[in-house]
Every structure is written in C-alpha cells, then in structure tokens.
C-alpha cells in the first residue's frame, strides 16, 4: 500500500509540473508576442520620423530649426531604445552590444546638438515684462508663439484685443535659476518612473510643490505690479485679469499642447504672483509631461511665458483652431 502511495505521489507531482510548465510557456509566448508588437511599433515610428525629415528636407519653405532637430532626434532615440529593449526581452543577452552602440551614437549626437545654432529670432535677455504693443513674431522667443500671434493681431489688425502684457521667457528662466529649480526637477525626473500615468501624476505633484513654494526673482514683482498699474490707468482701478500660458512649441505646427497648460481667470492684483506660478507649474501637468515625453521634446527647450490680459464682458466665448491640433495634415478650422 505504501508503494502505491509513493507511485501516485510521483505521478501527481509530475502532472503538476507539466501543468505549470505549460502555463509558463503560454505566459512566455504572450510576453514575447507583446514585445514583438512593441518592437514593430517602434520600428514603424522610426521609419515614419525619418520619412518626415527627408520629406521636409526637400521643402524649400520649411526651416530646420535647432529645436526641431533636437525634438526629432530625441524621438528617434526614444524609439530606437524601445526597439532594443523589446528585442533584448525577446532574446535575453543576445543583443546586449546594441546598448553600447546606441550609447555611443547617442553621445555623438548629443555633442553635436550641444553646439549652439544661431536662431533667426534672438531673445531679448533683459525684460521681465513686454507690453502687447511691443509684442510680435519678431520676439517669439521672448513671449511664446501664442502671445506672439496675439501681438500681431493687436498691432496690425482692426480686431479688438484686450489690453495686456507678457511675462517673458526671461522671467521664467530667472525664476528657475534664482530658486535653483532645474537641478531639483532633473532629480525628480530621475527618481520617478515614467512608464505609468500613476507615476507621472506623482512626478507632476512633486514638481508643482517645488514651483509653488519658490520665490520670485528680486525686482520682478515690482515690474509685474507696474505693468498692472498701467492697465489700471488705461482701463480702471481694480481691473481683473486673466493669465494665459504661452510656452515654446505651444500651438506650433508640429506640437499642440492644446488644453494641457493652465489658464487663470478673474485674477485680482494680490493674486497675480500666485496665479503666475500656477501657470508655470502647469508646464509639468501630468498630460503635458506625458505629451512631451511622447513627442521627444526636451524640458530645457520649453520656456513658459505668460500673457496677462484684462478681463472683458463677453456675450460668448470659445476656441478656434485654424488647423486640426491632432493632425498636422488636416487644415480644417475647428470651433469649440
């Protein structure tokens, strides 16, 4: 009887191992198939980016700016590394040399991209504030694309534009430097995983706390209040204002960031500084971080300018997109 028990015990053990092995094989197949699909997706994205750059290279009306080159190079790097990782997962330790090759190429590209390319629009590195009457496409680097276009409308059209001013990229850069925020943001990006939205939410919250706790650069508050006082002189005492984001790449032909940055409405004088920092912090909203990572944009390439405009009594409001923000090839006008 004891012999039979041992025999059946061995049989049951063997059967159980077979079931486990089958489950493991099924799980392994599922995992490798998933990695294969991700590999193909990354490869297709690489080919798509290269094809786009080659097409634009023959377009005489397109200007290859340093920001565009950095953006596309980063997108390529992200997808090449993604392809290598998925290949390595499918065949462990067989393609590890690709990491070294990728690192060497990445370093060479970074060295080249570190060379400063002279932009056609030089930035005015002295003004915290620019009035709308001084804003146009000529100083887009100072005021961001959104405010640059608004400045053109204000100066060169018969359309009614609320009075206002722009808190420039120089103010943003000085704010970050004065509080030594950039190294802290770099540290937070390093310690937070960015593969899941939950982690990106935590990263966003941590950066927002740093920005909101920071102090304004010396004399910048006085400059902001002086600009507000001019609005009062033009419109009336206690004028309420709106603060609108106008970041680099925002509403550009290659990147939209539509709805991802913050706007603050009905702001009184005593809350302008706090509202300004809230708009700065919205550069690191969860959706903005995810979008920037997906588009391969570098954090240091984006300065957050902020437009400050007098509130108006409007009978209606909305947004007009002169091009589909989700599709560069679609030139439909969208009204929301």
SS3 117: coil
The pLDDT confidence band at residue 213, using thresholds 50, 70 and 90, is very high
Give residues with Cβ within 8 angstroms of 155, minimum separation 6: 132, 133, 135, 136
Strand order in the sheet with 304-310: 129-131, 164-167, 304-310, 241-247, 263-267
The pLDDT confidence band at residue 4, using thresholds 50, 70 and 90, is very low
pLDDT of the residue at 64: 59
Q: Which of these, 293, 153, 312, lies nearest to 240 by C-alpha position?
A: 312
The arithmetic mean of pLDDT across residues 132-143, rounded, is 89
The arithmetic mean of pLDDT across residues 124-146, rounded, is 86
Res. 14: pLDDT tops 80? no
Of 32-46, 136-150, 289-303, minimum mean pLDDT range = 289-303
| Rounded distance between C-alpha atoms, residue 298 and residue 306, angstroms | 20
SS3 334: strand
pLDDT of the residue at 116: 45
The conformational region for residue 236 under phi > 0 = left, psi -120 to 50 = alpha, else beta, is left
Q: Which of these, 143, 140, 222, 220, lies nearest to 179 by C-alpha position?
A: 220
| Rounded distance between C-alpha atoms, residue 275 and residue 245, angstroms | 11
Total residue count of the chain as it appears in this document? 336
pLDDT in tens, 20-39: 577 777 887 888 888 898 89
The arithmetic mean of pLDDT across residues 258-277, rounded, is 91
| Rounded distance between C-alpha atoms, residue 130 and residue 135, angstroms | 7
| Rounded distance between C-alpha atoms, residue 243 and residue 296, angstroms | 27
Judge contact between 316 and 170, C-beta under 8 A. no
| Rounded distance between C-alpha atoms, residue 201 and residue 195, angstroms | 11
The arithmetic mean of pLDDT across residues 279-302, rounded, is 83
Decide: residue 321, CB within 10 A, 0-12 exposed, 13-18 middle, 19+ buried.
middle
Res. 151: pLDDT tops 60? yes
Query: Tokens 């929301």 label which residue?
Result: 336
Q: Name beta bridge partners: 321.
A: 334
């Amino acid at each position: 009887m004891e012999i039979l028990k041992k025999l059946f015990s061995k049989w049951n053990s063997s059967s159980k191992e077979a079931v486990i092995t089958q489950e493991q094989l099924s799980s392994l197949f599922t995992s490798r198939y998933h990695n294969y699909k991700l590999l193909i997706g990354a490869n297709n994205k690489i080919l798509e980016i290269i094809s786009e750059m080659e097409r634009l290279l023959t377009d005489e009306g397109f200007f290859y700016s340093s920001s565009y080159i950095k953006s596309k190079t980063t997108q390529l790097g992200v997808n090449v590394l993604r392809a290598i990782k998925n290949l390595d997962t499918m065949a462990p330790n067989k393609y590890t040399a690709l990491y070294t090759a990728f690192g060497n190429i990445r370093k060479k590209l970074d060295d080249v991209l570190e060379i400063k390319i002279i932009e056609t629009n030089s930035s005015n590195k002295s003004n915290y504030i620019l009035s709308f009457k001084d804003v146009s496409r000529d100083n887009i680097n100072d005021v961001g694309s959104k405010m640059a276009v608004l400045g053109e409308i204000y100066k060169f059209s018969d359309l009614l534009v609320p009075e206002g001013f722009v808190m420039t990229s120089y103010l943003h850069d000085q704010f970050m430097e004065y509080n030594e925020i950039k190294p802290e943001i770099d540290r937070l990006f390093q310690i937070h995983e960015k593969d899941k939205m939950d982690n990106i939410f935590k990263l966003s919250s941590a950066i927002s706390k740093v920005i909101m706790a920071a102090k304004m650069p010396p004399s910048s508050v006085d400059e902001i209040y002086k600009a507000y006082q001019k609005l009062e002189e033009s419109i009336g005492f206690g004028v309420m204002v709106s603060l609108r984001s106008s970041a680099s790449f925002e509403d550009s032909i290659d990147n939209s960031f539509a709805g991802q940055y913050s706007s603050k409405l009905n702001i009184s004088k005593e809350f302008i500084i706090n509202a300004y920092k809230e708009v700065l912090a919205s550069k690191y909203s969860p959706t903005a971080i995810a979008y920037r990572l997906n588009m391969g944009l570098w954090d240091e390439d984006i300065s957050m300018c902020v437009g400050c405009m007098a509130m108006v009594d409007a009978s209606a409001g909305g947004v007009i997109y002169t091009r589909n923000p989700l599709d560069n090839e679609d030139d439909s006008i969208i009204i929301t």
